[in-house]
Every structure is written in C-alpha cells, then in structure tokens.
Amino acid sequence: MDFLNSKKGLALVGVLVGLGMALLAFSGNPANMAMCAACFIRDMAGSMKLQTTETVQYFRPEIVGLVVGSFLIALATREYRSTAGSSPMTRFVLGFIMMIGALIFLGCPLRMVLRMAAGDLNAWVGLIGFVLGVATGTFFLKKGYSLGREHDTNKTAGAVLPALLIVGLCISVFAGVFAVSQAGPGSKHAPVLIALVTALVIGALAQKVRICFAGSVRNIFLMRDFDLMLPIAGLFVVMVVFSLVTGGFKLSFDGQPIAHSQHLWNILGLYAVGFGATLAGGCPLRQMTLAGQGSCDAAVTFVGMLIGAAFAHNFGLAGAAASAATAEKAAVLGGPSIAGQIVLVCCIAVLFVIAIVNVRKQKNAA
C-alpha cells in the first residue's frame, strides 16, 4: 500500500481510475459523464422523488460503490475511524452550495476533467473558476479558518451512510419502487453489476491515495506540493486516449453533450464548488470517500449535496444544456435561469460569510 502513495503509485492509480471511467462510459453512462458526483447524486435524489425532473432519475450504483469501496478498504487496512466534529449545519450548507454550483456548471470537478479530456472548451473555462475558488479558500485557511477538529464517536455512526446506501441499492434493484428515467441522462447507465464493481474499486483507490480535486490544487498553493495532481493527470491522459479512440473527442465550445457556453456562469459555478470544497475539506468525490472511512462530518456534507440537488431541480436553478436547432424546436442557449444566477451569487456570498466567521485568531507566542 505504501507504493500507491509514491509518485509512481499515484500516477498508476490515476491510470487505473481512468480505465474504470472508460469502462463506465463504454458500458452506457452518458457522454462525457462516465462518473459525476454531482450529476449522479442528483439522479439518486430524483429516483427517490426528492426532485421530479423526469429525465434525471436513477439510483446510481456508482455512488454506492464509491462510499462502500472506501468503507471496505478502510476496514481492511484498519483505517476506519468513526468521527464527528463541530459545525454540522455549516457542513450541510457547504455541501448544499457545492451542489448548486456544480449543477449550474453541469458537473462536479471530476466531470470537469472528463469534459476537458473530451475537448470541451467550456470545461477549460470552468477550470479557471475552480482554481480561483480553491485559491480563495486557501487564503482563508492561511488566515486560520477552521470548523473545528473531528473527535472519535460511536463506532457504528460512521457506518450509517454506507449501510443506508446499500439498503437503497437493494430496494432499487429488487423492489423496483424507485423512479427510473425513460429518456435523458437518467436513462443512460451501465449495467448495475459493472457500475457497482467498478465504483467499488475506484472508491477503494481514491480512499487509499486521498484523491481530491480541490485538495490537489490547495496543496499546490499551500505547500508547492504537486503529488495529488498525479492521479488526476493519469486519469486525464487515459480519458483523452479513450475519447480519441472512440471518436468522442471534439475540441470546441459548441455541440458538447450536456454542457453550455455561458462562460461567466461556468466560472462562477465552479468557483463556488472550489471555494466550498476547500472550506469543507474536500471535493464531492473526497467527501464520499471520507464518509466511507467513517467521517460523520463528510456524511453530513453528502446529505447537504443530496438536498442541494433536489432544491436545484425543484426550483429550476440548475443549468440547462445547450442544444442546436432542429426541425421540431429552436436552438437552446443553455445556462442557468435568472433564479439560478441569483441563488448562485447568494451562495458565494454565504461562502465568504462562513469563511470569515470561522477564522480563528492565532495566539501570539509569549
């Protein structure tokens, strides 16, 4: 396991995760969305009728696999530790805001990288906002921002979220009571077994090497440490090759699947994600692997993301995908509604409030 955290090991993990993403994309997941934490949590919310947009409803096995894969590897390596900390409502709000920003951009940082690898220039524009958001969060970290330390809690508390997700998957597969989209992104999915097993492996690998899209950028700003960029670089290279081989690579702003070219809102959406992830201690993917290894704080953030996804779709805040004109309908410019724009700006303001009020003054040495 120590090898995995060496530079060669980190790059190898990125390649393995990339191969898993390629398998999911090849097996039926939406184009440029082999796995997306934000979109897939949103689909899960839809499957349970927390939101009722009929095109984005499916209980995604990948989310279950990420959390449970992290849980199982943490148990196997004795890294499982049930913990809880302070400011649970603040963490809930941070998860909520990350989801609003991600759904306005139309993807989490993971999908941002997948879109970049497929030639989507809108994602490269969004990267600017993500880096600026992490930089803003890092500024407050340097000033002493903290939500408090985690403490050990009841050993079973950390296992609640993995257990609930397993139960939910069983209900989805065997009872058939959850909603499933008949059209749109929610109708496109890899077979359950392939999706689950692949995500279990990815979740385990992500837990072992601490894959975090926000954390990798944060470490560069804080310590000039580029190590956590290696898995992301490996993933990116594999997906570029996959996109080229399968004909999915298209270097353009227009005509990209499930995307829009409203550049300001792509930037601000991922700015909120990067800022919120830095304040929360991890991107959406990292929150799920942290929850799997026993962090109740991360589990609360996950619930915030779930409710944020439902809120975004119930109130028309999520970005709309652009589409070209056809004989039946006019072209759609895409991007967030006015309501979505207003809520996003308010969310960014809330992030600054959270950052400022949680800066803890350093005691001067005597």
For 52-100, how does the pLDDT look when each residue is reduced to its tens digit (9 = 90+)?
999 999 999 999 999 999 999 999 999 999 999 879 999 999 999 999 9
Q: What is the pLDDT of residue 94?
A: 98
Q: What is the pLDDT of residue 324?
A: 78
Q: What is the pLDDT of residue 176?
A: 87
Q: What value does the mean pLDDT take over residues 128-140?
A: 98
For residues 176 and 216, the model is more confident at 216
Residue for token pair 């949590």: 41
Contacts of 180 (CB under 8 A, 6+ apart): 47, 57, 58, 186, 187
Q: What is the pLDDT of residue 332?
A: 79
Instruction: Return the sign of the alpha-carbon dihedral for residues 130, 131, 136, 142.
Output: positive
Write out the H or E segment, with its range, that includes residue 152.
strand 151-152
Question: How much is the pTM?
Answer: 0.94
pLDDT tops 80 at residue 326: no
Question: d(Cα 195, Cα 243) in Å, to the nearest integer?
Answer: 19
Q: What is the pLDDT of residue 1?
A: 59
Q: What value does the mean pLDDT take over residues 307-325?
A: 92
Q: What is the pLDDT of residue 86?
A: 79
Q: What value does the mean pLDDT take over residues 331-339?
A: 90
Q: What is the pLDDT of residue 362?
A: 55
Residue 252 dihedral angles phi and psi, to the nearest 5°: -170, 165
pLDDT tops 90 at residue 333: no
Per-residue CA distances from 152 to 158, 159, 343 (Å) = 10, 13, 36
- For the chain, the structural domain boundaries read 3-357
For residue 295, how far is the Cα from the chain centroid?
Answer: 17
Q: What is the pLDDT of residue 366?
A: 32
Q: What is the mean pLDDT of the chain?
A: 94
Question: d(Cα 314, Cα 228) in Å, to the nearest integer?
Answer: 36
Q: What is the pLDDT of residue 117?
A: 96
pLDDT tops 90 at residue 287: yes
The pLDDT tens digits of the residues spanning 158-211 come to: 999 999 999 999 999 999 899 999 999 999 999 999 999 999 999 999 999 999
Per-residue CA distances from 55 to 5, 45, 263, 278 (Å) = 40, 12, 25, 31
Q: What is the pLDDT of residue 365?
A: 35
State the helix-helix crossing angle for 109-117 and 229-246, rounded to 10 degrees.
40
Spatial contact of 285 and 72, defined as CB atoms under 8 Å apart: no
Residues in the chain: 366
Q: What value does the mean pLDDT take over residues 101-122?
A: 97
Q: What is the pLDDT of residue 133?
A: 98
